[in-house]
Each structure stands twice: as structure tokens, then as C-alpha cells.
């Protein structure tokens, strides 16, 4: 029977075990950080309440055909009818059920809010990463372009563009998305300028990693926290923008249901004084949606900042 007298034979296996342990410890630290951020977020009562309300809005938008008592465009013989057992929130000036239109209007706000933010966050991340990492003339060009976009009155530019290409849900979402990226680009650029000086980034460059891999696998994950916070508040701003455009007749147009175009009827003094069921419900929905999203943003910001302070 032969005996293994070479004590170094199992050394590579030992190194592999140590390497695996180091990787697991690193993953454990990342999970611990995420867990601590989530724990602090859950301690923020208003943030949890806001998250619950926003999830309910999403569920209402998804289940609108089931929840709505009538087709939102169906016209009844009762015009401007007060709330009753047949129409819980009454009917509008055309005879359409207000509650059904309110439920379907949730879809518009959710699509515009999340869709527009997704577009400009993607644009802002790419431009911010490129500007902060490469610097020099590339940084100067992107930042001057950012200054140009931020120098125009945001709402007025959106009004002009929507009036040119035509008001619709798709056009509003795209226009808001294409014009909202400067703040994200500046935020990402500032984070990249500090992160790219870290040792692990320099080590990745020295090892010959490709630029996209360095940007999206090593730098971007460490800059996501402020992006998430900014994007959360951006969803609320996009909802308000859509409602404002629809209120002015430059957004989602009837017969499509939108909280903003439902509020258009509130321009009449008669409606404001004697028909509150036409404007209070959509106004409350906008208020609740924006407040819930802002509370989520506050909770995320507090959780991230408290962890970074440590």
C-alpha cells in the first residue's frame, strides 16, 4: 500500500477552498448591506405605507377590466348624475361612469410614470458613465449638452413637442423620457468620478477587462443607490406632468380615460361648486399616487444615506 508523502499535493485544493470562502464572504457582505438597507426602509412607516399604496395602484391598473363596473367609454342616459347605487361615483357630462374611468385612468399614470423614467434613466446612466469614465473632451461635450437641455423650460418644451407630434400616451411617455435624463447623467457622472479611482477599478483596468465590463459590472452597481432614489421621485414628477398635459388638452385625449382629462371638467365654476364627484376623485388619486411615491423615495434616501454614513 502506497502512502502520499507529498504534503504539497493538496495545496491547490486548499487555495481553491480559501478562494471560494472569500467569494462567499464577499457575497455575504453584499447581502448584508442590502438586508440592512431594506431593514431600515421597513422601519420608515410612511415609506412602507407609500409602497403598499403604490402596489395597490399597480394591481388596480392590471386588474382594471375586472374591477371596473362598466366600460369606461360606455355612455348612459343619466348625464352628470350624482353618486348612486348604480354609479358609485356618479357620471360625467357625457354620461360615462366616473368610477370606471377613474380605474382605467390608473393605467395611464402608471405607464407614463414608470415608462418615462425607464427611458431617461437608461439614457442618463449611459451618458453619465461615459462622461465620468473617459473625461476630457468627451466629458465636456456631454456636460455642455446637459447644460443646454437644462437651460430650457422643461414643461414648455414638452408642450411644444407634444403639440407638434400629436398628443397620445406613447408620445407623452417618449417625450418626457427623452427630456428627463440630464439630472441622472449628472448624478451618475459625479459618482463615476470618485468610483473610478478605487483600487478594484484600477485592478480591472490592469487585468485588461473590456471597458463595457468595467463600466456596467464594476462601476455602475456601486452607483445604483442614488439612481434608484432619483428615479423614484421621477415617477411622481412624470405622473404630475401627464396629468397637467391632459388637463390642458395636450395629453391623453378623450374618450381615453386619464386622471388629468377627468379634471378638465373642473374648469367650470358650476362643477367646482355643485358637482364635486367630477373632480375630487381624480384629484385624490393623483394626490395619493404622488404622495405614496414620494414617501417611498424618502424611505430609500434615508436608508441609503444612513448606511453610507456608517
Question: Is there a domain that residue 36 lies in?
Answer: no
Residue 140 lies in a domain: yes
22, part of any domain: no
Q: Are 125 and 227 in contact (CB under 8 A)?
A: yes
Please report whether residue 79 resides in a domain: yes
19 in a domain, yes or no?
Answer: no
Q: What is the CATH number of the domain that holds 119?
A: 1.10.3720.10
pTM to 2 decimal places: 0.81
The list of the chain residues with pLDDT below 50 reads 1-3, 5, 9, 11, 13-15, 17, 23-24, 27-30
Please report whether residue 8 resides in a domain. Answer: no
CA geometry: angle at 8 spanning 7 and 13, to 5°? 115
Number of residues in the chain: 310
pLDDT tens readout for residues 66-115 = 998 888 888 888 887 888 888 888 888 888 888 999 999 999 989 999 99
Rg, the chain, Cα only: 26
Which segments of the chain does DSSP mark as H helices, in order? 11-43, 45-62, 64-67, 98-134, 136-151, 154-165, 169-179, 182-195, 199-206, 211-213, 224-247, 259-263, 269-274, 280-309
Is residue 246 included in any domain, yes or no? yes
What pLDDT does 306 receive?
65
pLDDT at 1: 46
By CB neighbour count within 10 A (0-12 exposed, 13-18 middle, 19+ buried), where does 78 fall? middle
**C-alpha grid cell for residue 279?**
373632480
Domain hosting residue 79, numbered range: 48-309
Domain total of the chain: 1
| Per-residue model confidence (pLDDT) at position 286 | 92
Instruction: Report yes or no on 285 lying in a domain.
Output: yes
Amino acid at each position: 500500500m502506497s502512502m502520499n508523502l507529498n504534503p504539497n499535493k493538496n495545496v491547490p485544493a486548499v487555495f481553491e477552498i480559501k478562494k471560494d470562502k472569500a467569494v462567499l464572504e464577499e457575497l455575504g457582505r453584499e447581502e448584508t448591506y442590502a438586508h440592512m438597507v431594506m431593514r431600515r426602509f421597513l422601519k420608515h412607516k410612511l415609506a412602507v405605507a407609500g409602497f403598499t399604496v403604490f402596489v395597490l395602484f399597480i394591481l388596480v391598473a392590471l386588474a382594471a377590466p375586472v374591477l371596473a363596473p362598466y366600460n369606461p367609454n360606455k355612455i348612459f342616459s343619466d348625464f352628470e348624475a350624482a353618486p348612486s347605487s348604480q354609479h358609485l361615483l356618479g357620471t360625467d357630462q357625457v354620461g360615462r361612469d366616473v368610477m370606471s374611468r377613474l380605474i382605467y385612468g390608473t393605467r395611464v399614470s402608471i405607464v407614463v410614470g414608470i415608462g418615462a423614467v425607464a427611458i431617461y434613466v437608461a439614457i442618463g446612466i449611459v451618458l453619465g458613465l461615459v462622461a465620468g469614465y473617459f473625461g476630457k473632451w468627451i466629458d465636456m461635450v456631454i456636460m455642455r449638452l446637459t447644460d443646454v437641455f437644462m437651460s430650457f423650460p422643461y414643461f414648455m418644451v414638452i408642450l411644444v413637442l407634444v403639440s407638434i407630434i400629436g398628443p397620445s400616451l406613447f408620445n407623452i411617455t417618449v417625450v418626457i423620457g427623452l427630456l428627463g435624463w440630464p439630472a441622472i447623467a449628472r448624478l451618475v457622472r459625479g459618482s463615476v468620478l470618485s468610483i473610478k479611482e478605487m483600487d478594484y477599478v484600477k485592478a480591472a483596468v490592469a487585468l485588461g477587462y473590456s471597458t463595457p465590463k468595467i463600466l456596467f459590472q464594476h462601476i455602475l452597481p456601486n452607483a445604483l443607490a442614488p439612481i434608484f432614489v432619483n428615479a423614484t421621485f421621477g415617477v411622481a414628477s412624470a405622473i404630475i406632468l401627464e396629468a397637467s398635459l391632459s388637463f390642458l388638452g395636450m395629453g391623453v385625449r378623450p374618450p381615453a380615460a386619464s386622471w388629468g382629462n377627468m379634471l378638465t371638467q373642473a374648469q367650470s365654476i358650476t362643477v367646482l361648486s355643485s358637482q364635486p364627484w367630477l373632480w375630487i376623485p381624480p384629484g385624490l388619486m393623483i394626490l395619493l399616487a404622488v404622495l405614496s411615491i414620494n414617501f417611498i423615495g424618502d424611505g430609500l434616501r434615508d436608508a441609503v444615506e444612513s448606511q453610507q454614513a456608517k
